[in-house]
Amino acid sequence: MTNLKPYPLHFQPDFKERVWGGRALERFGFDVPAGAIGEGWMIADHPNGVSHVTNGPLAGKGLDEVRQAYGEAWFGTSGGASGNGRFPLLVKLLDCNDDLSVQVHPNDHYERLPKGELGKTEMWYVLDAEPGAKIIYGLKPGVTREDMAKAIAEDRIMDTLQEVSVQAGDTFYIPTGTVHALCAGVLVAEIQQNSDTTYRLYDYNRPGLDGKPRELHIEDSLKVIAYEGAGASRMKTDGVKPGEWLTLASSPYFETEKGVVDGEWQLSTSSESFVILIVCEGEGTVAWADGVLHAKPGDCFLLPANLGGYTLEGGMTVLRSRVP
């Protein structure tokens, strides 16, 4: 199939049970397995989870197989490599039925990274939020490493953290070194480096799915926190005009924009990078020279770099991510 013409790929998510998960991902029409499902790995090529193509000639193939077979032609001169030989991004939908652990991620250069792992810069787009929902986002001004260590020892870490209220449409950019935690009542789309490395600072003294306390990583966390700030930023995204892109996050690893489709919108891929489209609300179609796919909330599509022209049509809000 080396001469296969490029087409938009849709994937079967790899679902993950989490102590903080729920059943909200069922609203997107997915066949969600039993249990407290916190994460759908929508576009994934990682040792801990691989998503598989559901449509077209490559149906049933894992993203890892597709990447190996089509390489730079489909994934782009920038998007074809990640620093660890795998697909560069990991796209998730997160159902936060309960609070997540307070955590922080290292950068690519941290000496204690697990073998083969990268750092983890990420961003969140809030798809839905219950009234009063909040997240933990960074440290209070002036908190030092010594302050943090003392607060942890005295079991009052929450005194050092900033809480932020959230609504649907809010965006949070979370560079490595930023202390953060999603809290109960939010549904989030997450775009991140292809990494599964998380250091937990605090987990509310609750048991994990196995009934045992979940591991904390205090030493690693204290080492990688950016106490002076890591460049984290947040924004409201109301008022995006149809046919225009609003930049939500721009990092060395991904650029993500929000767009509103109202009618027909003609676009094109470029040879530098694949395009990932996440449908946040509404519905419509993704059309290209050789076909059309229906698009509904929760759908995530990977458009090959060499796809060329494509058209979004209907009434929907989408996120577009590429590798710079």
User: Which of the residues are catalytic?
Assistant: 200
Residue 281, marked binder? no
Residue 180, marked binder? yes
Residues constituting the chain: 324
Alpha-carbon distance of 258 to 248, in angstroms, equals 7
Distance from CA of residue 61 to its chain's centroid? 22
Residue 46, marked binder? no
List, as residue ranges, the binding site for Zn(2+).
105, 122, 180
